[in-house]
Amino acid sequence: MTDSATLFAKAQQLIPGGVNSPVRACRSVGCDPLFIASANGSKMTTVEGREMIDYVMSWGPMLLGHNHPEVNAAIHAAADKGASFGAPCPDEVALAQAVVDAVPGIDMVRMVNSGTEATMSAVRLARGFTGKSMIIKCIGGYHGHADSFLAAAGSGLATFCIPGTPGVPEDTVRHTLLAPYNDLAAVKELFRTRPDIACVIVEPVAGNMGLVPPLPGFLEGLRELTANHDALLIFDEVITGFRLAYGGAQSVFGIDPDLTCLGKIIGGGLPVGAYGGKRRIMERIAPCGDVYQAGTLSGNPLAMAAGLATLGALKKADYDGLAARTKALAEEMAAILREKGAPVYLTQVASLFTLFFCQGPVRDFESAKAGDAARYASFYNQMREAGIILAPSAYECAFTSFAHSEDDYARTLDAVRGVKF
């Protein structure tokens, strides 16, 4: 079979950078991507036939493990009945019911096709509902690639944003206000100076600057500030939904957001996103309300079947057990690396963790960036050589799954012991 190098050379002629999502190109860790032929449980097999232990898990969706038998069977059964109807199907209702039953803040939910669509639509709804135009997001928070989220600040708190990429008009990101993650005072200051804030969108546990948990009081403070200023609180639970717990981060922290964005896990590996929340807000969406949002493939029968089977299996899953195993693994990895002289600041929540190569503490994007990216690149490449797939970027989470075994963990720790700096 063709090897990864040959495929990548060809892909680069046909697809920008040879990939359909930039981080997959592995540029920040200075190597070429591995092409994957198949995946099963905790492992992925490259086109060269090499089986590797996976801690990316498709960036989160595969909490049950790759190729889970029940999810697989559900997809096959749905495929035999036709791939898309463009009309309502029973599984949409069943998945909506499962989401509403699971997530405390969701009374009604609308299915879309990606996390990006979910956050983009939730912000449109927040603006439509409040009649206000500004949004607040955290620096280093990732909410997909819609224009208004691709804003970067010069330094610290910025009330004036510049686009983080060409192609986004300044007029668009002018409506995006930035605050450091975990900095309630900064958010408070924005509310004090701006009367026109429609919403705050936040990852309840930040997962895209590496894993950064909220400090005590941060989420509570956001809830209070938004409520006091007639703005909506949007939890972006695209990573944390059904991962921190079956009810998501909001069920763990006991915070009641107005809107919640979901993705990744609820599609069981197929392209799905969803946004939901309070009935009086959600009823503003077309056709019952005036805020437009639509999708040719939204509620796709295969995707709904995969999501339903995934939630069905997760409902019975032992989240506490997985969190304990993940904690033990991550702490041991950190200890081994520290013995080798590397400064390591470890964050871990449920089945997510990040080893930051710095002293820490890491509490926002600025402190996350203190991590030694060159050392991470060396770590990544040595682990990959030893058969372990980590995220190809220093500022991402590692993901464990219910399919990871004690043997996988032992082999992973052996690989860490072999690392040389």
Ligand X SMILES: *Cc1c(COP(=O)(O)O)cnc(C)c1O
Active site residues: 142, 236, 264
Residue selected from 4, 176, 182, 208 as contacting ligand X according to rule CB under 6 A: 208
The residue among 116 and 378 lying less far from ligand X, judged by its C-beta, is: 116
* Sole window of 64-72, 78-86, 115-123, 324-332 interacting with ligand X (rule: CB under 6 A): 115-123
Q: Does 250 bind ligand X (CB under 6 A)?
A: no
Is residue 207 at the binding interface for ligand X, with CB under 6 A as the rule?
yes
Please give the single-letter amino acid code of residue 256. D
Asked whether the beta carbons of 210 and 356 are under 8 A apart, the reply is yes
For ligand X, which stretch binds (CB under 6 A), given 113-121, 162-170, 211-219, 361-369? 113-121
- Which residue shows structure tokens 């669509």? 117
Span interacting with ligand X, options 231-239, 312-320, 353-361, 381-389, rule CB under 6 A: 231-239
Minimum separation from the CB atom of position 115 to ligand X (A): 2
* Residue 410 CB neighbour total at 10 angstroms: 12
Q: Does 114 bind ligand X (CB under 6 A)?
A: yes
CB within 8 Å of 410: residues ≥ 6 apart: none
Pick from 64, 66, 58: nearest CA to 21? 58
SS3 category, 283: coil
Per DSSP bridges, beta strands 162-163 and 151-152 are: antiparallel
Which residues in 7-66 contact ligand X (CB under 6 A)?
A: none
- Answer for which of 241, 263, 269, 371 binds ligand X (CB under 6 A) is 263
User: Of 75-83, 95-103, 236-244, 306-314, which segment contacts ligand X by CB under 6 A?
Assistant: 236-244
Alpha-carbon distance of 124 to 130, in angstroms, equals 10
Beta strands at 43-46 and 36-40: parallel, antiparallel or unpaired: antiparallel
d(CA 193, CA 309): 47
Q: Specify whether the CB–CB gap between 310 and 270 falls below 8 A.
A: no
Amino acid at 27: R
Task: Output Rg (C-alpha) for the chain, integer angstroms.
Answer: 21
Shortest reach from residue 204's CB to ligand X, in Å: 10
Candidate list 116, 347, 348, 354; residue touching ligand X; CB under 6 A: 116
Interface map 68-107 toward ligand X (x if CB under 6 A): ----------------------------------------
CB of 264 to ligand X, least distance (A): 6
Residue 116 carries which DSSP code? H
Is residue 408 within the footprint of ligand X (CB under 6 A)?
no
- Residue 298 interacts with ligand X (CB under 6 A)? no
Given a contact cutoff of 8 angstroms between Cβ atoms, the answer to whether 346 and 353 are in contact is yes
Q: Report if residue 221 touches ligand X, rule: CB under 6 A.
A: no
Of the pair 233, 415, the CB lying nearest ligand X is at: 233
Asked whether position 144 contacts ligand X by CB under 6 A, the answer is yes
Question: What distance in Å separates the CA atoms of residue 43 and residue 61, rounded to the nearest whole number?
Answer: 14
Q: Binding segment for ligand X among 137-145, 245-253, 338-346, 361-369 (CB under 6 A)? A: 137-145
Query: What CA–CA distance (Å, rounded) separates 196 from 250?
Result: 26
Distance in angstroms (rounded) separating the CA atoms of residues 310 and 41: 14
- Contact letters (x/-) for ligand X, 265-284, by CB under 6 A? --------x-----------
* Type of residue found at 316: K
The answer to the question of residue 137 lying near ligand X (CB under 6 A) is no
CA–CA gap between residue 83 and residue 78 (Å, rounded): 7
Cβ-closest residue to ligand X?
115
The answer to whether residue 236 forms part of the interface with ligand X (CB under 6 A) is yes
The residues binding ligand X (CB under 6 A) are: 114-116, 119, 142-144, 203, 207-208, 236, 238-239, 263, 273
